[in-house]
Amino acid sequence: MVLEKIQKENDIKSLLPEELDVLAQEIRAFLIDKISKTGGHLASNLGVVELTMALHLVFELPEDKLIWDVGHQSYTHKLLTGRREGFDELRKFGGMSGFPKRGESPCDAFDTGHSSTSISAGLGLVAARNIQGRDFNVVSVIGDGSMTGGMAYEALNNAAHQKGSFVIVLNDNNMSISENVGGMSNYLSGLRTADVYTGLKKGVEDTLKRIPVQGEKIVYQIRKTKSGIKQLIVPGMLFEDMGITYLGPVDGHNLKKLIKVLREAKRMDRPTLVHVLTKKGKGYAPAEENPAKFHGTGPFSIETGEVQNGSGKDSYTNVFSKVLCDIGKNNDKVVAITAAMADGTGLNRFAKCFPQRFFDVGIAEEHALTFAAGLAAGGMKPVVALYSSFLQRAFDQTIHDICMQNLPVMIAVDRAGLVGNDGETHQGVFDLSFLSMIPNMTVLSPKNRWELADMIRFCVEYNGPIALRYPRGEAFEGMGEFRAPIVYGKSEILYEEENIALMFVGHMAELAESVRNELKATGYSCTLVNARFVKPLDTKLLEHLSKEHRLVVTIEENVLTGGFGSQVLSFVSEANLPLHICSIGIPDEFVEQGNVDVLRREIGLEKPVIVQRIIDEYAKILDR
């Protein structure tokens, strides 16, 4: 096997030319085999096999710096840098990350996970290189989907100012997770599909060059000018006009052509964008046919392409998807916005039912929130659905454009809490803190599928900024007997006893209930409260609890700093209530990748640890 000859970075350079094609095939077979077992990002990785090989053949790692935007497509890079063994434990707790990690290899120049950061990070490395008088190359590889994110343009806008070489590889497969959207995507399509056009350019160039003596000079002069005539022979004018040399488009599955164009880019003494055309899912028919399904996948059958399914129960996302469509039928003010995640957030259903009222804005969370604010100012009821960790991007827009104007925007915060195998970059564990601190914002979270449905309806009716957070995965079907109407700012008491009160946020319901059962079995009495609202805090309830209780335990899947527990604590302290508070949540550290149950065990968010902690805390109180 040729792949076995690759033990570390740069080993690829010792392969014979005829071995390279075999290597590409072996890499594809390897990735399909491994990802079919572990799950992971398949389609994007199959698309960049030759591109990654070419980059490794042209550049020197780890001296040269290679940055992968989002980073989900870095599997071949990991294989070529001696991490083949890691694929058995890909994305598992303690195993190899599915994203580049500086801590994992010196060949990973920058950690990524969220999109559109690679050009900024690359420019930073270029600036650092220039200041220190060093001479390594910097290459940022960014997908056309990630080019819809604002940061990419902010960085491009800056790029021309930096001296020396900087290679931006635009990996254009015409896809984000689903079809790519927007003006830039159209522009790239123009460059991509204009064979005739590029042919015409070539024709003009060739004809000019044939003019004796002066021909070559004229072509050179035209290339140098800023005039419209330049458009006749230079594609990628948009980039050229920004001071970035454009090379391409080049077939991203033709290794020889890739090597040639990358060498040319490497020689340039200025920022250069290499436009590479690839096919997402290349080499595996089910992924080529349905790249969105195989963007990120669970384990699947290689023969049929069937992905192993869960229990068949509805996820929280499915419930949201169905209920919002239902609401949309009777309320034509409701509009839905996604930032390139129509499938993931379940808004694809709304898009089908109400195409006029659905917007995919690309990977542009900041824009999504301000756009929603505009829609709300214009009299609509916007619902922005995004993942908790990506909402982090739009913190200022939420404050400045939505909350300051008190606009009725509903933010559906999906994948809140621990998400698992994507790791640190994707855990949704900060939203309760950063949303609760904003004036005018309301934050709530459901205990089960029925409460999610009720809360969605409540949020759509509510006339102000409101964020509804729910987690990844199957919607809880327990506690169905408790379905009191949602009342603004009011918690829900499920069982009322005395001494110890357990207050949980949203999907911590199941865990909290099992903790209470265990405490009861051990002889303690315990009140159980579904917080429902994290903001505003139900202060009346805390005052009420203070009469018959001594210990209040809060449980949330959010960082403790600024979360529900810390708000309870600060109110109880200010109001001088005779209550002790024990807050259970995520400690002040980034939570790595792994199965969610394993992660909960690691951070002590599990029944035995919590029960023991409560028993100990309560004993201390009694001792005082």
Interface contacts to ligand TPP, rule CB under 6 A:
44, 47, 70, 72-73, 114-115, 143-146, 171, 173, 175-177, 280, 339-341, 363, 365, 390, 393
Tell me the backbone φ, ψ of residue 442, rounded to 5 degrees. Answer: -115, 140
Which lies closer to ligand TPP via its Cβ, residue 173 or residue 566?
173
Distance in Å, CB of 13 to ligand TPP, minimum: 25
Distance in Å, CB of 173 to ligand TPP, minimum: 5
Which lies closer to ligand TPP via its Cβ, residue 280 or residue 349?
280
Helix ranges (H only) for 40-136 are 43-47, 49-58, 75-79, 118-132
Distance in Å, CB of 172 to ligand TPP, minimum: 8
Which amino acid would we find at residue 603? Answer: I
Which lies closer to ligand TPP via its Cβ, residue 415 or residue 580?
415
Cα–Cα distance, 144 to 184 (Å, whole number): 8
Q: Is 393 among the residues known to form the active site?
A: yes
What is the per-residue burial (b if ≥16 Cβ within 10 Å, else e) of 462-484?
A: bebbbbbbbbbbebbeebeebee
Own/partner contacts of 473-476, CB < 8 Å, gap of 24 or more, are 473/315, 473/316, 473/596, 474/310, 474/311, 474/313, 474/314, 474/315, 474/316, 475/313, 475/314, 475/315, 475/316, 475/318, 475/319, 475/448, 475/449, 476/447, 476/448, 476/449, 476/507, 476/509, 476/510
The SS3 assignment for 589 reads coil
Cα angle for residues 374, 376, 377 (degrees, 5° grid)? 65
Distance in Å, CB of 253 to ligand TPP, minimum: 14
Cα–Cα distance, 200 to 60 (Å, whole number): 37
Q: How many CB atoms lie within 10 A of CB 309?
A: 7
Distance in Å, CB of 408 to ligand TPP, minimum: 24
Cα–Cα distance, 407 to 369 (Å, whole number): 11
Distance in Å, CB of 306 to ligand TPP, minimum: 22
Which lies closer to ligand TPP via its Cβ, residue 39 or residue 47?
47
From the number of C-beta atoms within 10 Å of its C-beta (0-12, 13-18, 19+), residue 124 rates as middle
Distance in Å, CB of 422 to ligand TPP, minimum: 9
The SS3 assignment for 262 reads helix
The SS3 assignment for 445 reads coil
The SS3 assignment for 421 reads coil
Helix ranges (H only) for 210-338 are 215-224, 237-241, 255-267, 285-289, 316-330
Catalytic option among 9, 26, 205, 365: 365
Which lies closer to ligand TPP via its Cβ, residue 246 or residue 390?
390
The tokens of 569 are what?
């604590």
Which lies closer to ligand TPP via its Cβ, residue 357 or residue 415?
415
Which lies closer to ligand TPP via its Cβ, residue 72 or residue 92?
72
Distance in Å, CB of 41 to ligand TPP, minimum: 7
Which lies closer to ligand TPP via its Cβ, residue 364 or residue 452?
364
Nearest CA among 528, 587, 537 for reference residue 558: 587
Going from the C-alpha of 564 to that of each of 411, 438, 537, 582, the distances in angstroms are 18, 14, 8, 11
Nearest CA among 565, 549, 425 for reference residue 508: 565
Distance in Å, CB of 274 to ligand TPP, minimum: 15
Q: Is 280 among the residues known to form the active site?
A: yes
Torsion sign across C-alpha atoms 495, 501, 502, 504: positive
Catalytic option among 34, 192, 393, 600: 393
Catalytic option among 92, 129, 280, 349: 280
Say if residues 500 and 526 touch (Cβ distance below 8 Å).
Answer: yes
Which lies closer to ligand TPP via its Cβ, residue 145 or residue 563?
145
**Residues that are catalytic:** 280, 365, 393
